[in-house]
Structure 1
């Protein structure tokens, strides 16, 4: 437990300047300035392409093996990039000793739903073509990218593509109908968002499209056939029920699922590795989960 660290983080997040009237361009610039930490030492970062989109490839060096992790960044489908998430993705690389490709999928409002899902699917399809075995691949993502990871799996399943070994999602946004009880019960407790923030991201991404569509709201979809899932969330976030309901739906659809909720922590607290002990511990858990899933899948070949 690190109660003082959690209190300090909460205070820090609440003190961050808010700009509710910012343009999309201003919001993107602000997000990029806020999340500008590089990948950790020992992780090599290079430009790449995947599925017809730009990407960053993060490599742990040494004998990384054949496994690869497809990472989908957060940012409400509107802001963010592989660069803004290089530190978080790099911490996964450092722990898993696995090559990671972080996809620069198209953002809204210029490219609304389902453009991001199409990009995720194209990236996954290319990894399948490159890989000798689907179980050498895993997916990960945070926030909107977590929801996109699940949506990508649904789109791949519906096209008859083989599933990867596993997926790990941090504070996933998986219910764009915004009907989770935590959207109200965590108001004021969440130090980052209020409901109108989430509604604005949804407006940019969906426009007038159906928010209950399976690849828009995977928590409401049939998840049958998906690979093992690890879902992590903090208790102090508006999107808490997105994680809880996704896990419940996965379990009811016969998917192996592990849900971890850490008390007193905010949305995508894994960004705070090195500042909050539980962030590093959660990433350690994610690395172990992925290793075990890969090993189990390989044993069944």
Structure 2
């Protein structure tokens, strides 16, 4: 289908074609979670890091994590980044290139925890680990007003869920929340799931249902810490959302923006036409990916100044 479409962005067609070439042939046996995790980590390994990036292993009371710091970084500011992967795949390794570029644009370190995932560790383990990582930064003496929590896809939903859990626990909010293509309603509802499914080669209702089942382990998808778009956003930090107009999760982003707006939370929703889900990860090939990270970095600098 994508080959029949003339994209206005001259680069997106090539990236879409390359992504299609990475997919297993039709009729191939379904991959195990271990195989899918290895493949996603492999995607991170083919990317390059900005020159001078420091990569430091971090232990958060038994939870592995990775710190990324650009040249000339401001150690008084920090980003807590929660990686995507449907709450079942993904790791600091898979997201290292994108997080390193975000660190460079924001001019501060990024901490990426290897939080627990399903099906081995179902909901709410990931949320508990998001809170744990935040407490680690607070215990290190970093001012919450100088920090942002960010994440993509399921990590974008986890960013919001962590903020709700912090509010519910009486813990301080960060200066802002940056969400890339957040999966924020595990029920898979909204107009985009039908209207632009033919434009989205990465995300489908069936695929998300599989991830949700593995993550939830029988828990209610309507719980606001599982589907934060259904939560009360009162007292939550300001939010920046990036989403493609050609991905099904646009509906989740719109729902989050509405929930935040109704609660009086400052929210900026940017819908980028034609892009792939989390196109920021393709910044080496997409000018739009680089521009998105530059804009997010500027927003983070402003919020944490």
Q: Normalized against structure 2, the TM-score is what?
A: 0.93
What is the aligned-residue RMSD (CA, Å)?
1.5
Aligned to 1:17, which of 5, 23, 26? 23
Instruction: Find the aligned partners of 1:15 and 1:72 in 2 and give their Cα distance.
Output: 28
CA contact (8 A) 1:230 1:259 kept: yes
How far apart are 1:50 and its partner, in Å? 2.4
Task: Indicate the larger mover: 68-77 or 26-35.
Answer: 26-35
- CA distance in 2 between partners of 1:2 and 1:96 (Å): 29
CA contact (8 A) 1:219 1:242 kept: yes
Query: Hey, what does 2:210 align to over in structure 1?
Result: 200
Within-5 A mapping of 1:114-193: 114-193=124-203
Paired position in structure 2 for 1:221: 231
CA contact (8 A) 1:74 1:146 kept: yes
Q: Secondary structure at the match of 2:184?
A: coil
> Are 1:210 and 2:220 counterparts?
yes
Provide the rounded CA distance (Å) in 1 between the counterparts of 2:57 and 2:292: 28
**Alignment check: 8 A CA contact 1:2 1:277 kept:** no
In structure 2, how many angstroms separate the alpha carbons of the residues matched to 1:117 and 1:125?
12
Secondary structure in 1 aligned to 2:149? strand
Whether contact under 8 Å (2:178, 2:239) holds in the other structure is yes
The equivalent residue for 2:69 is 59
Give the corresponding residue for 1:29: 38
CA distance in structure 2 between the aligned counterparts of 1:20 and 1:75, rounded to whole angstroms: 20
Partner of 1:241: 251
Runs (5+) with no aligned partner, structure 1: 296-301
Contact residue 157 and residue 184 of structure 2 kept, 8 A: yes
Counterpart for residue 299 of structure 1: none
* Per-residue deviation, 1:132: 4.6
- Picking from 112, 116, 121, the partner of 1:102 is 112
Partner residue of 1:287?
A: 297
Do 1:136 and 1:164's aligned partners in 2 also have CA atoms closer than 8 Å? Answer: yes
Matched length: 295
- Deviation digits for residues 212-258 of structure 1, max 9, x if unmatched? 10010111110111111100011111211111111111111110100
Structure 2 stretches of 5 or more lacking a match?
1-6
Aligned to 2:87: 77
The structural deviation recorded for 1:63 is 4.7
